[in-house]
Amino acid sequence: MAVTRIFIPRDVAALAVGADDVARAVTAQAATLGAEVALVRTGSRGMFWLEPMVEVETAQGRIAYGPVEPSDVPGLFAAGWLEGASHRLRVGRPEDHPFLAAQTRLTFARCGIVDPLSVADYKAGGGYRGLVKAIELGGAATVEAVTKSGLRGRGGAGFPTGIKWKTVRDAAADQKYIICNADEGDSGTFADRMILEGDPFCLIEGMTIAGLAVGATKGFIYSRSEYPHANATMAAALQVARAEGLLGRGILGSDVEFHLELRVGAGAYVCGEETALLESLEGKRGMVRAKPPLPALKGLFGRPTVVNNLLSLATIPVIMDQGAQFYADFGMGRSRGTMPIQLAGNILHGGLFETAFGLTLGEIVMEIGGGTASRRPVRAVQAGGPLGAYLPPSQFDTLYDYEAFAARDALIGHGGLVVFDDTVDMAHMARFAMEFCAEESCGKCTPCRIGSTRGAEVVDRILAGKDVAANITLLEDLCNTMKFGSLCALGGFTPYPVLSAIKHFPEDFHGRRLPVAAE
């Protein structure tokens, strides 16, 4: 009897809903039945409402079942899932599922499909073709290709990646660095984490190409302590890459040299800001640096440094492999390529949706996401993390691209969308934004350090019904000071959630709304 391969995610979100228990149940039931199965632990396809989603390799391809509970396993075997038979949990071929079929997966092409620690799997899925191309082209042409692709920073600011690389390439120094900013602290975002857990070689290849392009032989991945599972997988992948000659000297038989280390932060949100990250990597308090000088010229240990978001770096291999024009042909306006959108919070179909820019916010939330999980009306969507604006359904016509969002005083940021139903209290969310800023401020600049504490106090007075109109004016004034007077995005962008809540949901600030169901 042939061995049937069964794919079960070990992505932390799948583990959080019982993937390990399901894996144990599958192994036990196969042993009981004498069925020859081999378990492959993958990342996640990103259809989290179906997790744990199990895929069985059959003559018709991989057939998915989900969400699977351990108690479902005997029934799935009995129904004949090893042949892809029908069952109430049968999803079918994942690629045919509307949620995946509607996507354009470039950055996430392999995530959830491959064994994340198998170099053979990675290469079979197109891995290392990009680096081979970059070695052929050389550094200058590689930088040019990245510029032509139109790739912009995926961490929030949206700065053109190629221009940053060229600055570092043109700088003269004895040592240059590539830093991957994987300090994905924004609520509602998990794309970096999924790559770390599901396709780590993609990041390693992307960073190696960046090193070749700008002349850097050393790189750091700065991740978060809140991601222990992702860090364990990434650390294991680095060991495999070193052992297989994919890091170190003479990579792929060329003269490319690149060394890569994983570093883990210590629970400080502000270290996601690139200059605070540099200070933290140097072993200091994660205090923001004033710019200039730009990190591209004076970055880590004062050397020219590329600091890119994980998603930017993980997108480099496909750009080099398929060509700059291929990538640039996706998207609209100055927002080129694809964006891995993360659908989170109170949403029916939460997950990772990679698509070319240009859908409307409403299409993403209502059609792709299916509206709320609670089946109540959507009241607000926070876009771009805890420093992003809250948008009401009346703005669902906003196109998903950098410029259209900016025109509505909103941010795309790292691509997270957190959906709230009509039980949300927006004054509470505005207060939370200020409280979060106060908690996480590095303390270097006054508007952020003191403004956030005073901001929370002002919201408290509004909530208590004291001089509401005057206090709202005061809060708006304070937000302006923070927006224009802060050194970095933490203080500078906290006004986005606060002001958007006041603007779009005034009824929550002027006299209290009747409380809807509390939970």
Partner 1 sequence: MTLATTTTGWTREKAAEVIAEHRNLDGPALPILHALQETFGHVPDDAVPLLAEALNLSRADVHGIISFYHDFRHAPAGRHVVKVCRAEACQSMGGHALAEGLLHRLGLQWGGTTGDGQVTIEPVYCLGLCATAPAALVDGRPVGRLNREKLDAVVNEVRNDWSHTGRVGA
Find the shortest distance in angstroms from Cβ 328 to partner 1: 30
Residue 270 DSSP one-character state: G
Nearest CA among 394, 495, 395, 481 for reference residue 445:
481
What's the CA gap between 344 and 190, in Å, rounded?
9
12 in contact with partner 1 (CB under 8 A): yes
User: Residue 390's beta-bridge partner residues?
Assistant: 382
User: Residue 145's beta-bridge partner residues?
Assistant: none
Find the shortest distance in angstroms from Cβ 192 to partner 1: 8
- CA dihedral 320→326→331→333, nearest 10 degrees, is 90
Contact region with partner 1 (CB under 8 A), list: 54-62, 70-78, 331-339, 419-427: 419-427
429 in contact with partner 1 (CB under 8 A): yes
CB 311 within 8 A of CB 107: yes
43 in contact with partner 1 (CB under 8 A): no
Runs of H (alpha helix) within 80-128: 98-101, 119-124
> Residues in the chain, how many?
519
Tokens 């392009």, residue?
Answer: 213
182 in contact with partner 1 (CB under 8 A): no
48 in contact with partner 1 (CB under 8 A): yes
284 in contact with partner 1 (CB under 8 A): yes
Select 321 or 425, whichever has its Cβ closest to partner 1.
Answer: 425
Contacts of 442 (CB under 8 A, 6+ apart): 268, 270, 276, 285, 286, 287, 288, 448, 449, 490
Contact region with partner 1 (CB under 8 A), list: 10-18, 109-117, 240-248, 320-328: 10-18
CB 364 within 8 A of CB 356: no
Residue 366 DSSP one-character state: I
User: Residue 263's beta-bridge partner residues?
Assistant: 222
342 in contact with partner 1 (CB under 8 A): yes
Contact region with partner 1 (CB under 8 A), list: 100-108, 265-273, 394-402, 480-488: 265-273
Residues 195-214 that bind partner 1 (CB under 8 A): none
Q: According to CB under 8 A, which one of 56, 204, 316, 343 is a site residue for partner 1?
A: 343
User: For partner 1, what does the binding mask look like between residues 15 and 34, x meaning CB under 8 A?
Assistant: xxx--x--------------
Contacts for 292-297 with beta carbons within 8 Å, 24 or more apart? 294/167, 296/164, 296/167, 296/168, 296/171, 297/167, 297/171
Q: According to CB under 8 A, which one of 184, 199, 205, 401 is a site residue for partner 1?
A: 184
Q: According to CB under 8 A, which one of 1, 2, 266, 514 is a site residue for partner 1?
A: 266
Select 135 or 366, whichever has its Cβ closest to partner 1.
Answer: 366
Residues 211-230 that bind partner 1 (CB under 8 A): 225-230
Select 7 or 49, whichever has its Cβ closest to partner 1.
Answer: 49
Residues 376-395 that bind partner 1 (CB under 8 A): 382, 386
312 in contact with partner 1 (CB under 8 A): no
Tokens 């190629």, residue?
Answer: 162
269: amino acid identity, one letter: Y
Nearest CA among 307, 313, 228 for reference residue 274:
307
Find the shortest distance in angstroms from Cβ 337 to partner 1: 23
Runs of H (alpha helix) within 306-425: 310-322, 324-328, 361-362, 402-407
Select 133 or 444, whichever has its Cβ closest to partner 1.
Answer: 444
Binding interface with partner 1 (CB under 8 A): 12-13, 15-17, 20, 48-49, 51, 184-190, 193, 225-230, 261, 263-269, 280-286, 301, 342-347, 350-351, 373, 382, 386, 416, 418-421, 424, 428-429, 432, 436, 440, 442, 518-519
